[in-house]
Amino acid sequence: MERYSFGKKAVAVVLHQLFFISMIMGFFTMDFFARNENMQYTAVYGGICLVCLIGSFLLLAYLTKASGRVSETGTEISLWGIDRVYGEVLTVLFGIAIWLIFRTVFRANVENFSLAGLLLVAGTVGYVLDTIFLLYYLSIVRRIKKGILFTQTGCYHLMIWIRKLLHVKQDVFFSTEEAMELQKLIQAVEEIADGDTEICLNVNEFHGQNLALAEAINRIGEGMKAAIASNTKSERMKADLITNVSHDLKTPLTSIVNYVDLLKREELENERAKSYIKIIEEKAWRLKQLTEDLVEASKISSGNIKLDMQKIDFVELLYQTGGEFDERFEARGLTIVTKLPNEPVFILADGRQLYRAIENLYTNAAKYALENTRVYVELVKEEELAVFTIKNVAKAPLEMVYEEGGNELAERFVRGESSRTTEGSGLGLSIARDLSVLMGAAFEVQAEAELFIVRIAFKMA
Amino acid sequence: MTILVCDDEKEIVDAIEIYLQQEGYDIKKAYDGEEALEALKQGGIDLMIIDVMMPKLDGIRATLQARKESSIPIIILSAKTEDVDKIIGLNVGADDYVTKPFNPLELVARVKSQLRRYSMMVQSQVAFANVYEVGGLCIDDDLKKVTVDGEEVKLTPIEYNILFLLVKNKGKVYSINQIYEEIWNEEAIGVDNTVAVHIRHIREKIEINPKEPRYLKVVWGVGYKIEG
């Protein structure tokens, strides 16, 4: 963009002033000769006067176009200090200045002046007049261009101020008692809508229909409080029930595990019996895992869990997790490809719970990934987020169940079809999701045919 | 050595009896907290294994009572797996907490470990300059020997160095990078799982249950430390 050189506009201003002064001087000279009845000179100076008038208009046109513009082609407008003065004030000042000049000129006894004196007066008046006119006119031009002609005025600001005053004091100045009561009712309803169930209106403050409304609002508050309390209670009772049932399940399970182990130690000749015992043993331990996962999942989903949120390094946690799983992946011929940043990535989380979430995802991969494939683990910084991704190829095509009206996976108990007979409870994914969400992270599962992807995004601390 | 086993489920007591008899221990049996306290009073018991949820007197209260008169090792056996339950159990004076269903071998290992520690505590120990002790974990840096409850553990040189670093600075948390720089004397650039794998191997050697370590703790997202 080519900037306007200051010189160009300055030259235009000076030229304009020269033309203008010349015109004024020409006018007075013409007038002088007209009074002396020298018609030949009158015509000549009249012509000069006309030419100067045209020239000054042309230059004014140029200045009108260029004023305020920063560059020749751009639309940016820069304002002068004078443009910040309220419009009315500027106009009044301009008017006074013009009035003073004209009064001076008309009071002077022009007829008695010599030609030289006349020219001196005309030149001075012309210069002062033109300068004041240009300042005022160009300021108005810039205001129009910037769109502040009407807003940069005293009247406008006064109006805004009054409106603000009226708005704030509306209730106090203009409300009747009834309207005030209504205002309180509206406020109470809004608070209930925002989830505040503690609302309790003093019914003595209300009258007539407003009284009935106030009583109804109080009842809504109480009803909601009761509903929430009973919901919380039933959630907790559900979690407690699951915990108690699982305790009761564990006692017989302990005996099963112990006596199967003792049976194993007996010298059995029968190979088939041995293989049956092995199956019972495996299933008993799986049952144990199931009951523990069930307690865990119900506790987490009912929010019955305390979080110890600390600033921790996600990279360190993933290396630690990698160390725990190293041989479990190797045992199934899985190669884990880890891509982590070289510097710490700090997030706010409960380290133990985050490990449990990640552990569940790694366990899933170790169990359900196709043998001799790669498992990709990645941590990427995306603006303010630390995004963890784990990808693996599943043994069997994944069976997806979609919740009504949404594309979110109903993860609980859902696994690939063929894995139903293998170890694991299928609760792992749900536990990982609930824990992540509890810690404020975004959790996303994606499955395309055999490719299984989980993404967890934490805000960086 | 005589061990008192107390659980309201008779089959569980019987099974434990079989396992411990195979290891050469004598067994006394009780089926509720009151019976257990009764048996303790009669004397001659070296260790008690006690269930929590029992009729008449539960395991927590029984342990609290038992601690008033006896300092023998007590192992709580419970179906409650929550942290709170473990903390309560250890706070009332139990020495160890095993969750049901338990791995019989693990229970036997814990019994042995508790008995060794107890007898070591009774024997007066001579403290040497280069011997570091954390609970039942003991490192003799002159002999480069590591023992857990008096039993020697074989570590590789790198495993030894890592464990020694952590034991010497008991309670301090070391990140993977810090451990790498201390042990390998190299700047840690683009390290991988190496340190974490060594740590797991150490845990498998010194801990009875590596998944619930007593000494070498993982501080997730921060590092590793030895807890006394």
Place A83 in a pLDDT band, splitting at 50, 70 and 90: confident
State mean pLDDT over B14-43. 92
Instruction: Give yes or no for residue B194 having a pLDDT over 60.
Output: yes
Are A321 and A362 a contacting pair, CB within 8 Å?
A: yes
The CATH code of domain B2-122 reads 3.40.50.2300
Q: Domain extents for chain B?
A: 2-122, 131-226
Predicted confidence at residue A170, as pLDDT, reads 53
Q: Is the pLDDT higher at B123 or at A349? A: A349
Q: What is the pLDDT of residue A3?
A: 62
pLDDT for res B224: 93
Which of B15, B53, B199 is nearest residue A259 as measured by Cβ atoms? Answer: B15
Residue A146 has pLDDT above 90, yes or no: no
**β-strand partners of A77:** A69
Could you report the per-residue pLDDT of A86-102, keeping only the tens digit for each?
A: 888 889 999 999 898 88
Q: Please, which pLDDT band fits residue A420 given cuts at 50, 70 and 90?
A: very low
Stronger pLDDT, B120 or B180, i.e. the higher one = B180
pLDDT (0 to 100) of residue A403: 39
Token pair for residue A40?
Answer: 């030949």
Judged against a pLDDT cut of 90, whether residue A417 lies above it is answered with no
Name the residue with higher pLDDT: A300 or B28.
Answer: B28
Distance CA B78, CA B99 (A): 5
Contact residues, chain A, for B192 at CB < 8 Å: 319, 322, 338
pLDDT at A405: 34
A49 falls within a domain: yes
Picking from A245, A249, A251, A291 by the largest number of B CB atoms within 10 A of its own CB, the best residue to mutate is A251
Count of domains for chain A: 2
pLDDT at A2 over 70: no
Dmax (CA) for chain A in angstroms is: 151
Question: pLDDT digit string (tens) for B50-96?
Answer: 999 888 888 999 999 899 888 899 999 998 888 788 889 988 989 99
Q: Is the pLDDT of residue A410 over 50?
A: no
Residue A288's contacts (CB-CB under 8 Å, 6 or more residues apart) are: A250, A253, A257, B101
* pLDDT at residue A175 is higher than 60: no
Give dist(CA B148, CA B68) in Å, integer. 28
Residue A152 vs residue A414, higher pLDDT: A152
pLDDT score at A404: 38
Which of A108-122, A127-141, A269-283 has the weakest average pLDDT?
Answer: A108-122
Residue B133 CA, chain-centre distance (Å), reads 14
Q: DSSP letters of A186-212?
A: HHHHHHHHTT-TT----GGG--HHHHH
Window from A6-15, B14-23, B114-123, B195-204 with minimum mean pLDDT: B114-123
In angstroms, the CA A55 to CA A77 distance is: 26
Closest residue in chain A to residue B15, using alpha carbons only:
A258
Q: A391 φ, ψ to 5°?
A: -125, 135
pLDDT on residue A425: 52
CATH code of the domain occupying B131-226: 1.10.10.10
pLDDT for A168: 63
Within-domain flag for A173: no
Mean pLDDT throughout A446-459? 85
pLDDT over threshold 60, residue A26? yes
A322 touches chain B (CB under 8 A): yes
Which uninterrupted H or E stretch holds A448?
Answer: strand A442-448
Report how far apart the first and last C-alpha atoms of chain A are (Å, whole number): 43
- Could you tell me if residue A287 is inside a domain? no
| Mean pLDDT confidence for A423-443 | 81
Spatial contact of B214 and B224, defined as CB atoms under 8 Å apart: no
A289-307 average pLDDT score: 81
Q: Tokens in use for A358?
A: 């990640």
Provide the shortest C-alpha distance from residue A337 to chain B (in Å): 11
Best interface-test mutation with A: which of B14, B193, B200, B224 has the largest number of A CBs within 10 A? B193
| A426 torsion bin: left (phi>0), alpha (psi -120 to 50), beta (else) | left
A319–B176 CB contact, under 8 Å: yes
Residues of B in contact with A309 (CB under 8 A): none
pLDDT value at residue A306: 82
Are B176 and A314 in contact (CB < 8 Å)?
Answer: no
Between A197 and B173, the more confident residue is: B173
Lowest pLDDT segment from A38-42, A307-311, B29-33: A38-42
- What angle separates helix A351-368 from helix A428-438, to the nearest 10 degrees? 150
State the average pLDDT over residues B193-199: 88
Give φ, ψ of A335 to 5 degrees.
-105, 130
- For residue A230, the model assigns a pLDDT of 87
Per-residue pLDDT at A418 exceeds 50: no
Residue B122: the pLDDT is: 60
Question: Among A95-109, A164-178, B26-40, B159-173, which is the least confidently predicted range?
Answer: A164-178
Q: Quick check: B175 and A338 CB within 8 A?
A: no
pLDDT of A23 > 50? The answer is yes
Q: What is the mean pLDDT of chain A?
A: 82
Residue B27 has φ and ψ, to the nearest 5°, of -120, 135
**Domain end marker among A157, A178, A203:** A157
Is A262 an 8 Å CB contact of chain B? yes
- For the ranges A158-172, A286-300, A357-371, A395-409, the maximum mean pLDDT occurs at A357-371
B217 pLDDT more than 50: yes
Identify which of A63-72, A161-170, B175-184 has the greatest average pLDDT.
B175-184
Of A348, A369, A375, A379, give the one whose Cα is nearest residue A419.
A369
Q: Is residue A262 part of a domain?
A: no
Asked whether the predicted pLDDT for residue A207 surpasses 50, the reply is: yes
With a pLDDT cut of 90, the percent of chain A lying above it is 13
- A419 pLDDT more than 60: no
> Domain boundary at A92, A123, A157, which?
A157
State residue A411's pLDDT score: 45
Tokens at residue A131, please?
Answer: 């300068």
Residue A224 in any domain: the answer is: no
3-state secondary structure chain B: CEEEEECCCHHHHHHHHHHHHHCCCEEEEECCHHHHHHHHHHCCCCEEEEECCCCCCCHHHHHHHHHHHCCCCEEEEECCCCHHHHHHHHHCCCCEEEECCCCHHHHHHHHHHHHHHHHHHHCCCCCCCCEEEECCEEEECCCCEEEECCEEECCCHHHHHHHHHHHHCCCCCECHHHHHHHHHCCCCCCCCCHHHHHHHHHHHHHCCCCCCCCCEEEECCCEEEECC
Which ipTM did the prediction report? Answer: 0.78
Record: contact B196-A323, CB cut-off 8 A:
yes
Write out chain B residues lying below 8 Å of A247, CB-based: 53, 79-80
Measured between beta carbons, which residues in chain A are less than 8 angstroms from residue B222? Answer: 310, 312-313, 316, 351
pLDDT, position B121: 67
- A355 band by pLDDT with thresholds 50, 70 and 90: very high
Nearest Cα neighbor of A262 from B17, B60, B84, B88 is B17
- From A131, A157, A183, the end of a domain falls on A157
**Which residue segment(s) compose the domain that A115 sits in?**
6-157
> What's the CATH number where A424 sits?
3.30.565.10
Q: Do B176 and A258 touch (CB under 8 A)?
A: no
Residue A162 lies in a domain: no
Name the average pLDDT for chain B.
Answer: 87
Residue A6's pLDDT band (cuts 50, 70, 90)? low
Beta bridge partners of A381: A386
Identify which has the larger pLDDT, A172 or B93: B93
Per-residue exposure over B9-26, b if at least 16 CB sit within 10 Å of its own CB, e if not: beebbbbbbebbeeeebe
